[in-house]
Structure 1
Amino acid sequence: MRILLGVSGGIAAYKAVLLLRLLREQGHAVRVIPTASALRFVGAPTFEALSGEPVTTEVFEDVEHVPHVALGQGADLVIVAPATADLLSRAATGRADDLLTSTLLTARCPVVMAPAMHTEMWEHPATRANVATLRERGVHVLEPASGRLTGADTGRGRLPEPEEIAEYALSVVVAGPAPGGPSGSRDLVARRVVVSAGGTREPIDPVRFIGNRSSGLQGVALARAAAERGAHVTLVAANIALEVLAGASSAGQGQGAGTVDVVRVESTADLRDAVRGAAAEADVVVMAAAVADFRPARTPDAKIKKVPGRPPAPIELVLNPDILAELAHERLRPGQVVVGFAAETGDETGDVLDLGRAKARRKGADLLVLNAVGGGRGFGTVTNEVTLLDGTGEVLGQVAGTKPEVADAVWDAVVKLLVPRA
C-alpha cells in the first residue's frame, strides 16, 4: 500500500517516527510530508532514513514531477499525525500553501487525521467547527486521547498511540469507498448485531481490579465492518480507550450503511446484562470481549491496606457466569447466530487447536474464532491470526492479516449461517 504520512508541527511529532516505523514494518511504502514547523521537532534525515524516500515541505522542489499533484493522485491512504489546530484550520479552508496542504487537496483516497493539541485548543469553537467541516467532507478525524500533554498539563488533546492510529487508518482502507469492506458487500442490511469487545474488570476493592490485556481493537473492527455492511450494531464496550472507540464511531458514514451504538460497561455482570438486553432483538451476537472467568467472592467498601510484616490475605475467587454458553444454549431469538472468541496459549493438556476444538464443542456457539495469544500476538497488536471453527470443532478456515481484514472474514462466515429473510 502507498501511504502518505503528513506530520504537522507539534510536540507529538516524535510519535510520527514510531508510526512510520510501524507502517514500514507491515510492508507499506510510506512517504513523509512534514510541514516546516514539524521539521523543528523531528529532522528530515530521520524521516528519510526510516522511509527510504526524500522529505520536503516545498512545492518548488522536484517541480518536473509536479509533486503537489502527483503525490495525492498516487496514494492509497493519507494519514496526518499529529494534526495540529493550525493544520486542521488550513485543511478545512482549502489552503494550499505548502506541500502537505496541497497534497490534501489532490488526494482522492481515504484521509485520516489524528489531532494533537492542548485541551483548550481542541475545545475551542473554531477547532470544533473545522473538525465538523472536515468530517462532513469525508475526512476521518480521530478523537484525541486524554493524558499528559506538554509540560505539566493533562487533559484531552493527546495524540493516540501509533498502534491505534495505524489500526484505525488501515481499517478505513479495508472498508473501501463503498459500504461493506473490500468487496462493497451489503449482506447485513437491516440486520441487528450485538458485538462485545474489550476486557472486563472485576473489582478487588474500590481501587484495584482483576483485568486482562484486551484492547478491544478486534471487537471494534467487527462492529465497524458490520455497520459498513449495513447492520445496526450495538457495541458493548468493556473498558476500551476512547481513541480505540473512535474506530467504531466513524462507521456507517457511507450511503445506506448501518449504525453503531456504544454501551460502555466495566464488569462481567455489567457486560452480561447489556449483551442479553440487546441480544433479545439481534440476528447475530458476537462475543469478542475477553470476559473474566473469575471474580473476587467479596469486595470490601474500603481499600485493602498493606500491613508491614504481614502477608496479604488470600483473595477468594468464584466463577463468573459463562455468557457465551448461556447465549448459545438459550438463543434469545429464533434463528440467532452466536459467535464466540477463544484466546488460548496451549498447556500440558493440549495445544491451541486442541483446546479450541474442545471449547467449541463445550460452548455450543455456531462459530468459534480461535487465536493464539502471548509473545506479542493477539492483544493490543494491529494484526491477528485466527482459526475459524464450527460448533463441532471442525476447522472452517484460517485468516491472517489486519484486524479489519479478520473482521471481514468472520462476517463472511457468519453471513453463510444466517437464515434468509422472508
Structure 2
Amino acid sequence: MTFQNTREFARELDSKDALKHYQEQFIFPKVNDKRVIYFTGNSLGLQPKRTKAYIDEVMNDWAELAVEGHFYAEKPWWDYQERFAEPLSKIVGALPSEVTVMNTLTVNLHLLMVSFYQPKGKRYKIICEEKAFPSDQYMFQSQVNFHGYKAEDAIVEIKRREGEHNIRLEDVLAKIEEVGDELALVLIGGVNYYTGQVFDIKTITAAGQKAGAKVGWDLAHAAGNIKLELHDWNVDFAAWCSYKYMNSGPGNASGCFVHEKHHNSDLPRFAGWWGHNKERRFKMEPTFDPVHGADGWQISNLPVLSLAPYLASVEMFAEVGMDALIAKRDHITSYLEFILHEIDKEVESTFEIITPTNPEERASQLSVFLHGEGRALFDYLMKNGVITDWREPNVIRLAPVPLYCSYEDMYDFGQILKKGILGK
C-alpha cells in the first residue's frame, strides 16, 4: 500500500479498520479538553471501560459474602487464577497448564530463578542483553551475589556493535557458543524496552539449551504485543507484567510460564500454601505437595482485586485474537514510520528511528532519536496532547497500540510534531 500524509487518507484507513470499535472501549485522559494521542502503552496501558465492572463484582462479593466469597462468589476467589489458563495460554502460545498469574514481574523472575538458575562448578554464568531494563540488571546482580559470585564475572552482556543501535542475532549466538560450558542461564527481554527490538526467541532458546543452559524470557514488552509460541519454542520459563500492552492497571499482577517438561521434575522452588495440592490445601498438611503445572509455583493467597482488571483485559484479548491484533499493529506502526519520514522531509531536524525497520524484528514501538532536538520538544508534545515518554539523551518512544490508537492519531501526531519543531 502507498501511504499518504493526509487526514483524508488516515480516515480512510480507520474506516477499514476491523478493530476500530475497540478504541471506544477505553478511557482516554484529556489535555486542553481534548482526548490525548496515547503512545505510552509500552509503559502503562489505558483503562478498559469494562474493568470497573470486574472490580465491582469482587467488591460486591466481599461486601455481601465476606470470607465465603472464596467459595460462593460467582467467580470463587480460591481458584480465580484458573480462569486465566485458557485465554492467557493463547496469548503466549502455551498449554493451559503452563501458565499462571501471581505476584509482580520481578518477584516472579526471582522466584523462577530459584528453579532455573542453579550454578554449579564452572557452569555459573548468565547471558543477558546490554541495556536490559534496570530491574532485570539489579535482579541479576543480586542473584549472582546471593550464590557467591561477582557480577562482573558471572553476568555476560551481549553488546551492540559500534555505531549500531540493535543487537545482531549472530552476536547473541556467538556469545552463547563462546561462554559454552560455563553458561548456566540465558535470560533476555523478548522485546528490548529502549529500542523496541524483538529478539528471535525460538533460535536463541535452542542455542542456549544446546549449550546446556536453561533459557528464560522477560516478556514485559512482548506479552500482548508479539506472536509468542512459548511451548513450541521449548522455552524453559518466562514471566511478564500485565499493565503495559495488556492494560490491567498500574503495577498489576504478573503472568508466568513454566514448560510442561518441568512440571514433574525435582527442580527446587520456594513453596507456599497456594501452590499446594488444591484438593488437600485446607487439610493444613505439613509437607508441600505442589499442584501439577505452573500453578505449583504459586505461593500466596491470590490478590483477587489485582487479578480482576487483568481478567477483564485477557477476555478482551480473547475476543480480538492475536492474529488480528498483530495485523493492525504492523500496519499502523508502518504508517507511523511513514509519517515520521514525511515530517522529517519538511523540517530541518533529522529523525533517526533506532527500532529495526524489519517488521519481524519490531512490534508496537518506534524509538526515535531526535537529532538536534532536546527535552523542550518532548514537553511541547505533552502539553499539546501527545502522551509519549523521554529517554536520555534525546529519544522518544512511540507505541501505537492497535487496540486504542487510530490512523488519524498518527496523522495528528505528525502535524503536532512539525509545529513543535518549526515553532522553536
Bin for the TM-score computed over the shorter chain: under 0.3
Taking structure 2 as the reference length, the TM-score comes to 0.26
Higher relative contact order (CA 8 A, sep 6+): 2
Q: Name the one with the larger helix percent.
A: 2
TM-score by length of 1: 0.27
